[in-house]
Amino acid sequence: MSNLNKQPIVEPVEVNSKSKKKIAGIDVPIFFGIVVILLIGIYMETLPHNMASGIIVAMVLGMLLMWIGDQIPVFNTFGGGPILCILIPALFIYLGILPESVGTLTDGFYNELGFSDFAVTGIIVGSILSMDRKMLLKIGLRFFIPLLGAVASAILVGGLVGQVIGFGFSETIFYVVGPIMGGGMAAGAVPMSEIFAKSSGESAGDILAKIAPAVMVGNMICIFAAGALNGLGKRSKKQNFSGNGELLRVEKNGKKVELKGQDNSAFPFSINSLMVGMIVATTIFVVGKIVAELIPTFHSYVWIIIAAAALKIFGVLPAHIEKGAEDWYDFITKAWVPVILVSISAGMVDFSSVIEIVTNPSYISLTVITVIVATLAAGFFGLLVGFYFVESAISAGIGMADMGGSGDVAVLSASERMNLMPFLQISSRIGGALMLVILSLIAPFLI
């Protein structure tokens, strides 16, 4: 999401014959040797159920699946790596290719040992604190009008259509619309499943199995929609339809908003910055837990979001501390998101439930409707506040509905509007956080 110019997990393969393919910075032959050793330990059932075993199993399998997914043409533009991470472990356990002990191991590491809270909190806090405050203040409340319009329209229309076709109003909101508009998997669907579990009494894993397909299918639809809007924008001659990458039509003073990211060049990435980020994120986690104990109406994640947003909006923290939170966020998203997805898949997702859901025509139809309604609503509401239709639809609509970081990149690549990345960050991060708050408010009444 942020700092896209930083080194990715999987290093690109150069055409030069002297270059070596690497996975997570490790030469492929060596990495596959690590995989073989790990599989021997898994099939011999010799791995103890502790932090060391859990993180190495989830990390190696995650990095491998991310690499494979990113090597497959076309599929890699649809979030190939993350999709394999969330599907393959559950599928292999379902088919008996991997033993059940892998699921038990990763589930214990992720939930019982608290890795979930540690990593997800870092993602939420870092994503909010790394936003460009000047840019947020510059666009003001204007951008939130199409964003909230997209959310409200998707909830209302999706819920009503779900009720009409027999899927159910509340089921559509919580298991289709909410996950799609929640900002992705790690920072959206995962905390969302825990929020729903608190209100419904179901396990977070069962709920996640129901909502994960919506996130993945919705992401694919978003990429198609972005490509379609790009094509329509090139063909349309209507003055307010496409800005060819410019969001604002014209300011009152005749100037357009400049899309400049936050300048963090004075604070280079360092081990110390990671330490700062980890301390800040986990301290805000403690704040969320304290407030949730005092005011149990909301899940602690909601209070974590509110605390981080308040710190950002009011400029409480110095720049180097915010940069530390950003670096910690970058580290987690590059190194641990595959760990999170594999742990969720192997330990919490029942693949038989996934099959039942994705073969339901009503479910797929509602997924498509949600993305289309959010996209159109964001475009029309954007027109009302001086945005171009196409750019507003992509930034506030599709940016909310795609799968976060990899989804943002895929959507902007398909639409040929990579300069809109700051606004998709707002949609995925702030918009996704707002969606968690909204669902937390209505969950006790509808679940």
Query: For residue 346, is pLDDT > 70?
Result: yes
pLDDT for res 266: 61
Cβ–Cβ under 8 Å, residues 415 and 226? yes
**Which residues are CB-contacts of 318 (< 8 A; sequence separation ≥ 6)?**
none
pLDDT for res 136: 64
Compute and round to an integer the Cα radius of gyration of the chain.
21
pLDDT for res 92: 94
Query: For residue 4, is pLDDT > 50?
Result: no
Cβ–Cβ under 8 Å, residues 292 and 298? yes
Q: How confident is the model at residue 67 (pLDDT cuts 50, 70, 90)?
A: very high
pLDDT for res 78: 63
- Please name the residue ranges forming H helices in 114-246: 115-129, 133-139, 144-164, 169-172, 178-180, 190-200, 204-235
pLDDT digits (tens, 9 = 90+) for 379-409: 999 999 888 999 999 999 998 888 776 677 6
State the pTM of this model. 0.67
pLDDT digits (tens, 9 = 90+) for 153-169: 999 999 999 999 988 88
